[in-house]
Amino acid sequence: MTKDLKFAIKSVSFDENYQPSDGTRITTNFANLARGESRQENLRNALRMIDNRFNALAHWDNPKGDRYSVELDIISVELSFGAEGTGDAFPLIEILKTNIVDKKTNERFEGIVGNNFSSYVRDYDFSVVLPEYNKNQPKFSIPDHFGNLHGNLFKAFLKSDAYKANFSKLPVICISASSSKTYQRTENQHPVMGIEYRQDDFSSTDQYFAKMGMQVRYFMPPNSVAPLAFYFIGDLLGDYTNLELISTISTMETFQKIYRPEIYNANSAAGAIYQPDLKHQDYSLTRVVYDREERSRLAVEQGKFAEEHFIKPYKSVLDQWSANYAA
């Protein structure tokens, strides 16, 4: 069965001229910015914020704070069935690839792949499966096999020829810390990742990413106000250079400042014991316009899209493949 799954990768630049494709989840961070009357100004402002944050973190040999710029590619992963992968392709995953431009030396370096993580199947799991499973239940719980299919598909993608041909390192995904959990500051501090936080109780998202073969660490970078969650495989601090890590921090912290300003653009920094709060009132807004309520509503629509066009039509094939893959 593993030979019957074919992964194909497409890439498009994320710049001020970016327009989302028909297969892109419109709630995805980068796609959400590229819609509406303010689309080009949104994109310019977001890209400028990323470059400014990168230079602030990569401050050595950078006296004017303008040595580097970050280029972003949107990586779209399609999955098709059949011996030659000729069946209908489904838009499985979208991630971001960072590239670093050193304007002093005129060199261009690969950054990190992953960063943002977008998945129709994850929408299905969290917006369709979980609500249905917990309907009329006195206490919230998670099904035993929750996330198994999604996790196996992701791990199969990382082992695929398509991934190996395009990327030299494993992905790092960076998202917001969970507002339902409490984080404690540790004594561990990294030059660019900043202060490490830990929590004793993993969130449903942490458990979901574990099914994808990823572990999590939480760091609050220098001059940040809240820890970010970094999901990775291997050694987060040893497998990537400082500039690679900075490319992820600058990109994803910018998105979080835009989408969760109550947490990541707050006017005071997280303390020794910290719980993120989306109802926090003491924060600043960026010059980027977006609609968070629309994002929440559309996540349900996108989950139902995955159910209709992927889960139900291929259920027997997917169940059999996932069971064999896990074995």
pLDDT for 198-222, tens place per residue? 998 888 899 999 999 999 999 999 9
Query: What is the overall mean pLDDT for the chain?
Result: 89
pLDDT attached to residue 34: 63
Of 32-36, 155-159, 286-290, 298-302, least confident by mean pLDDT is: 32-36
Judged against a pLDDT cut of 90, whether residue 75 lies above it is answered with yes
Of 199-203, 228-232, 288-292, 312-316, least confident by mean pLDDT is: 288-292
Residue 103's pLDDT band (boundaries 50, 70, 90)?
very high
CA distance 324 to 327: 5
Strands (E), the chain: 5-14, 68-81, 90-102, 107-119, 172-176, 183-190, 194-198, 215-220, 228-232, 273-274
Average pLDDT over residues 284-304: 76
pLDDT attached to residue 195: 98
What are the Cα distances from residue 288, in Å, to 34, 56, 73, 147? Answer: 11, 20, 20, 33
pLDDT digits (tens, 9 = 90+) for 253-265: 999 998 899 999 9
Question: DSSP readout, 16-52?
Answer: TT----TTS-TTSHHHHHTSSTTHHHHHHHHHHHHHH
Residue 326's pLDDT band (boundaries 50, 70, 90)?
confident
Judged against a pLDDT cut of 80, whether residue 272 lies above it is answered with yes
DSSP 327: -
Of 46-55, 143-152, 288-297, least confident by mean pLDDT is: 288-297
What share of the chain in percent tops pLDDT 90?
Answer: 68
